[in-house]
Structure 1
Amino acid sequence: MAHIIVIGNEKGGAGKSTVSMHIATALARLGHRVGAIDLDLRQKSLARYLENRRKHLDEVGVDLPTPSYMDLPEIDEASLPPGEDPVAHRLTQAVAALKPVSDFIIIDCPGSHTRLAEVAHSLADTLVTPLNDSFVDFDLLAHIDSDGDRIIGPSVYSEMVWAARQQRAQAGLPAIDWVVLRNRLGVQQMVNKMKIERAIAALSKRIGFRIAPGFSERVVFRELFPRGLTLLDLKDIGVRQLNISNVAARQELRDLLKTLKLPGVEVKF
């Protein structure tokens, strides 16, 4: 059975597509069969990333491990049995098509609440939630007091994850391994940053998620997108000497994959 990794967060700009692409490509480079689905039907950032990759690799004549992408199939809603959700049907059909040919399926969710995102979360074996290191993003997980020291209660996204966990429990499926990824970290150890660190640690125990190291804010991620490349591809396209920032970013990706503890994955880059 393919292991389904959902990259989810109801807020835009948290780096979901960058995280999705790097996890998917890293797994492919480690020899795993990887399928990918983009649920942001408007922007389709992950789909564009993979399209850019295919075009660039064709142009330069290089063959690199690449995830297999699948669009959601179009369906005739009139042909569905009464009461069947057409949105859920489209996603489950795409997942069913990828499962026999994939070890892992990456599902990149939109930065908003949609029915597709709800269904995707209920399918997740591993849920990765990238979160910018700010209280604006933290508010997606929980409400806190004005000083940022006391958690008042869970917020909208946490409640959606809770509902997905209940659905899986009722269906007799394994629990979701939820990993919150502190992303776009700044280099300075500011008071606000330390408060967020304490708040996330406290909330992780309260609502049940693990904390993973994410990516620091780096220009290289924006530069790689037009060519569809990732940090792991640089040496293959002729970059023989990585700068300090690129080496550090590769280490961040290595640490992330180790923290995810995906079945059968041995991090060897």
Structure 2
Amino acid sequence: MSNGQPHYIVFANEKGGTGKSTTAVHVAVALSMQGHTVAVLDLDPRQRTVTRYLENREETCRRRDIALPTPVYAVHDDDNLASLEQRIETLARDADYIVVDTPGRDDRFAKYMATRANTLVTPMNDSFVDFDLIGQVDPESFKVRKLSFYSELIWEARKTRAKSDGVTIDWVLLRNRLQHIEARNMRRVGDALLELSKRVGFRVIPGLSERVVYRELFPSGLTLLDKGQLGELGVSHIAARQELREMVSGLSLPLGLELRAEQGAV
């Protein structure tokens, strides 16, 4: 980066099943495809979803005798902050970006890395079950009644960070599993997110739809960006790739990230 420090992209949500790891892998690979040096830090030593994905990717490269842009990666499996700091320091030496995937539960290391983020990404499914992580709504009017503990935590972290080193954490809410047909629940969730965003200061962007293709790619470690390795593409694959392109663009990352078709990204 221009200031000699990597840009930290932290994917965090205390609820599981929101597409956090899938999104993190695709963003990390997208950045690698643009020629950036990317490191991935996996903070979930039990599930290791991101790590397993990238291990599968490396195995596919060996099996097919091909070269694919792949970030370096590491798992934090110790139980102390000092070892985490040491691992971060090692990854940060040559990295333009550090992508951090956190566990879908209350975790002290995840909270710590959220305070270190430049871009904090919170994927959520389009439902009030997931909305409850960031705010509570009135059951009759669906107006935001109060902030959740998590929103208050990030709000305080952003204020503290701005005062300490002048960095503004860009908090992005990623709406995954949006329905293709406009529904009443979708509108209500959207209205509640808009209302809360004005109070807390996050951005809302569309994420990834519920698509079988993402789950199918895991065993090979391939992503929708690996043009030429996916075989014949159907309409759903092409739509998913465009959706991914728009999501990455919406993150508004530095260094002018663009997914160009001529580079094999889309």
Relative to the length of structure 1, the TM-score reads 0.91
Cα distance in 2 for residues equivalent to 1:167 and 1:59: 48
1:28 touches 1:34 (CA, 8 Å); kept in 2?
A: yes
Shift of 1:93: 1.4
Shift of 1:102: 0.8
The C-alpha deviation readout for 1:167-207, integer Å capped at 9, x for no partner, is 31342240100000000112221111111111111111110
Cα distance in 2 for residues equivalent to 1:205 and 1:61: 50
Match of 2:115 in 1: 122
Match of 2:43 in 1: 39
Match of 2:233 in 1: 242
Cα distance in 2 for residues equivalent to 1:222 and 1:266: 25
Map 1:208-247 to 2 at 5 A. 208-233=201-226, 235-237=227-229, 239=231, 241-247=232-238
Aligned identity (percent) is 46
Matched, 1:263 2:257: no
Matched, 1:131 2:135: no
Cα distance in 1 for residues equivalent to 2:249 and 2:218: 24
Letter in structure 2 aligned against 1:237: Q
Match of 1:28 in 2: 32
Shift of 1:113: 1.1
Give the 3-state SS of the residue equivalent to 2:259 in structure 1. Answer: coil
Matched, 1:70 2:70: no
Letter in structure 2 aligned against 1:251: Q
Matched, 1:103 2:107: no
Cα distance in 1 for residues equivalent to 2:137 and 2:230: 48
Q: 1:11 aligns with which of 15, 26, 37?
A: 15
Match of 2:62 in 1: 58
Q: Which moved more, 1:63-72 or 1:136-145?
A: 63-72
Map 1:164-243 to 2 at 5 A. 164-233=157-226, 235-237=227-229, 239=231, 241-243=232-234
1:87 touches 1:115 (CA, 8 Å); kept in 2?
A: no
Match of 2:245 in 1: 254
Match of 2:263 in 1: none
Paired residue total:
256
Matched, 1:49 2:53: yes
The C-alpha deviation readout for 1:145-180, integer Å capped at 9, x for no partner, is 103521111112212212322331342240100000
Match of 1:82 in 2: none
Shift of 1:238: 5.3
Cα distance in 2 for residues equivalent to 1:64 and 1:148: 50
The C-alpha deviation readout for 1:95-116, integer Å capped at 9, x for no partner, is 1111121110000011011110
Cα distance in 2 for residues equivalent to 1:114 and 1:266: 30
User: Which stretches of structure 1, 4 residues or longer, exceed 4 Å deviation after superposition?
Assistant: none
The C-alpha deviation readout for 1:34-63, integer Å capped at 9, x for no partner, is 000011121111111111111111111111
2:31 touches 2:257 (CA, 8 Å); kept in 1?
A: no
The C-alpha deviation readout for 1:50-106, integer Å capped at 9, x for no partner, is 1111111111111100010023375xxxxxxxxxxx632222212111112111000
Match of 1:80 in 2: none
2:44 touches 2:76 (CA, 8 Å); kept in 1?
A: no
Letter in structure 1 aligned against 2:228: D
Q: 2:83 aligns with which of 87, 90, 96?
A: 90
Gaps of 5+ in 2: 261-266
Relative to the length of structure 2, the TM-score reads 0.92
1:73 touches 1:90 (CA, 8 Å); kept in 2?
A: no
Letter in structure 1 aligned against 2:197: S
The C-alpha deviation readout for 1:120-160, integer Å capped at 9, x for no partner, is 11110000100100000001010111035211111122122
Match of 2:135 in 1: 142
Shift of 1:236: 2.6
Letter in structure 2 aligned against 1:35: A
2:45 touches 2:77 (CA, 8 Å); kept in 1?
A: no
The C-alpha deviation readout for 1:208-228, integer Å capped at 9, x for no partner, is 000111011100000000111
Cα distance in 2 for residues equivalent to 1:167 and 1:89: 21
